[in-house]
Amino acid sequence: MRVGRLWGIDLHFNLLFLFLLGLYFVAGVLEKGLIIFSLVLFHELAHTLAARLMGVRVIDVEILPFGGMARMGGEMSVEPGKEIAVALAGPASNLLLMGLAMGLKNYGIWSEELGPFFLQTNLMLAFFNLLPALPLDGGRILRSLLSVHVGLSEATLMAARMGQVIAVGVACLGIVGALHRFVGLDVVIIALFVLYAATKEKNLAPYLFIRHLAQKKEELSRAGVLPAEQLAAREDVPLKEIVRLFVPQKFHLILLLDRQMETLGQISEVQVVDALFTYGMDYPLGAILKPKGE
């Protein structure tokens, strides 16, 4: 649900978040619900500010029960360092608020009723979001670290699967905790939502990968200089098998071999990406070297 604009960016509230606020109201603890709302919004605005400072376009922001999701420009997929910095900004903002609150307590500016809840909520938001699972901040950090080794597509799938596993684990613990009255059912609701969001990230991985490939040609021109990565492949290998090995911030050169392992020539990632968008993912690598019409 769109609620307005800030810094030229559309702000949306997820309906589940509003539902949880309603539960806090019914339970007579609306003040705590509003604290959670404010801290989640602050957390997400920290991501947005960090992205803008690093020159990353922010399209819109959705406020969720456990944080938020900002749709950002494709610069993030080709520069893992930026994604890590932007992801860390959210948890860092919550730790900063904790420090400020503890400083105010030393000056007597404190509420014995809401102060501890303020600290606990900041701590929970910071560390929960650092779990290595998409769509959480820790999952985005994990994906960025993995992407330089296994490629963006596989890294996204791995981090999303981790998100599904962690969400199921938290949901099970939440159910046990709710039965023993250690935690509320809101923990289970949030875990189920993380499971849904992780599954969505997993399903979107192929589309993210295609967008990443489309921007691959711009990566070298933007950076000026990139380290080269050498790959070797048979001429009959389809393009889809080679592009999944492409990693961010490296320029790939592919040595083509025939069935007798004799060298046929060399092609660049630019030629591969061009051929993929022209002829499809099943187009053989060797056909790139052959004159059209053969």
Set 44, 83, 201, 219: catalytic member = 44
Residues 6+ apart with CB under 8 A from 60: 9, 10, 11, 12, 70, 71
State the amino acid at position 294 in one-letter form: E
C-alpha of 22 from chain center: 29
- In whole angstroms, what is the distance from residue 35 CA to residue 116 CA? 12
Q: Is 31 left (phi over 0), alpha (psi -120 to 50) or beta?
A: alpha
Enumerate helices (H) and strands (E) in the chain, giving the number of each.
Answer: 10, 7
Q: What is the DSSP letter of 291?
A: P
Query: Peptide bond preceding 135: is omega within 30 degrees of 0, i.e. cis?
Result: yes
Q: Tokens 């691959």 label which residue?
A: 216
Cα dihedral 193, 194, 199, 205 sign: positive
Q: What is the DSSP string of 183-199?
A: S-THHHHHHHHHHHHHH
Ranges of beta strands (E only) in the chain are: 2-6, 9-13, 58-64, 67-72, 228-234, 251-257, 263-268
DSSP class of residue 277 equals H
- Decide if 44 is catalytic: yes
Which single residue is written with the structure tokens 């650092």? 130
Residue 61 CB coordination number (10 Å): 24
Catalytic positions, written as ranges: 44
